[in-house]
Structure 1
Amino acid sequence: MKYSKATNYALHTMLHLVASTAENPVGVQQLAEIQQVSQTYLSKILTKLVKAGMIESASGAGGGYKLIRRKEDISFLDVIHAIEGTASLFHCGLEHNSEECLIQGVMVEAEQTMEQVLRERKLISLVDKVQVVRK
């Protein structure tokens, strides 16, 4: 299984915001430069994080993005769901009832285990291991 590049950028962006001690919003230009990605592409990702209620945007000269959820509450799974959605990774495409699909049962169990780990793991647990540009 593979997550999209957007999820990669979203996780790194959120980690930066969680680790940041700046009280002012962080601009999209700075966030894009840190990850060496275009501002346009990152802006689309940031819009999804705003819609998910994790960050807010402020326009104007001192504008940018800042957290609106408590740092301690943001899990890896929250960010992944904001970008990828909540649909199951596997869907049995055969013509029998999905409850009867033995393979579907195993895949759902594995996905639930993985999601539990990602739900329990908070981004803040990495803050002391990452260097953040503090402005």
Structure 2
Amino acid sequence: MKLSTKGRYGLRALVDLAQYSEQEPVSITSIAARQGISERYLEQLMCLLKKAGLVRSIRGAGGGYVLDKEAADISVGDVLRALEGSLDPVECSGLHPSEGCRSSDVCVTKYVWQKINDSINHTVDEIKLDQLVAESRELCAGTKDQTIICEKKTK
């Protein structure tokens, strides 16, 4: 399974928001600056997160975004599904009787796909936003630059 930049950047933005919106709303500009994400792209992500009920916007002077739920009540799975859709890496019609898979009755691989799908969903639903904020603060405690949530780049 490979997540797009929507999922990766959106999760970083939401961790940033959770970390910095405890006192006041956070502007897109400040998140973009700390995370190195384009403001335009971030606006698109926030729109999806708002639609999913994870963030809300506050208008006017001093406005910005805040979480619409407690960070402890938002899972990584909630964020990724809002941005990416289903996280199931395998689409198997045998797992859904209404989809009419002809081999469903004799196919044993559907159990493998179900196990993989369940494992991924369970893992991302177990990790909460407040845990990531705490981890970020701990990792950055001894560093000079405490604003950027880093992400390993791989090819």
User: Shorter-normalised TM-score: what interval?
Assistant: 0.7 to 0.9
Distance 1:44 1:98 in 2: 41
Please list the CA deviations of residues 25-53 of structure 1 after superposition, one character each: whole Å capped at 9, or x if unmatched. Answer: 10000111112121111100000000000
- Aligned-partner Cα distance in 2 for 1:22–1:121: 20
TM-score, normalised relative to structure 2: 0.75
Match of 2:112 in 1: 106
Unaligned regions of 5+ residues in structure 1, if any? none
Identity of aligned residues (%): 32
Give the residue type in structure 2 aligned to 1:127.
V
Deviates more, 1:84-93 or 1:31-40: 84-93
The SS at the match of 1:130 is helix
Structure 2 runs not aligned, ≥5 long: 94-99, 138-145, 148-155
Instruction: Give 2:122's aligned residue.
Output: 116
Q: Give, in whole Å, the separation in 1 of the partners of 2:103 and 2:49.
A: 32
Contact 1:32–1:39 under 8 Å retained in 2: yes
d(CA) in 2 for partners of 1:87, 1:115: 7
Q: Which has the larger radius of gyration?
A: 2
Letter in 2 for 1:97: R
Judging changes above 3 Å, is the alpha-carbon distance between structure 1 residues 103 and 36 closer, same or farther for their aligned structure 2 residues? same
Q: CA RMSD in A?
A: 2.3
Measure, in 2, the Cα distance between the counterparts of 1:98 and 1:89. 20
Q: Which residue of 1 aligns with 2:151?
A: none
- Structure having greater relative contact order (Cα 8 Å, sep ≥ 6): 1
Number of aligned residue pairs: 133
Correspondence for 2:47: 47
Length-normalised TM-score, structure 1: 0.85
**Superposition pairs for residues 1-135 of structure 1, below 5 Å?**
1-20=1-20, 22-86=22-86, 88-92=88-92, 96-97=101-102, 99-100=104-105, 101-131=107-137, 133=147
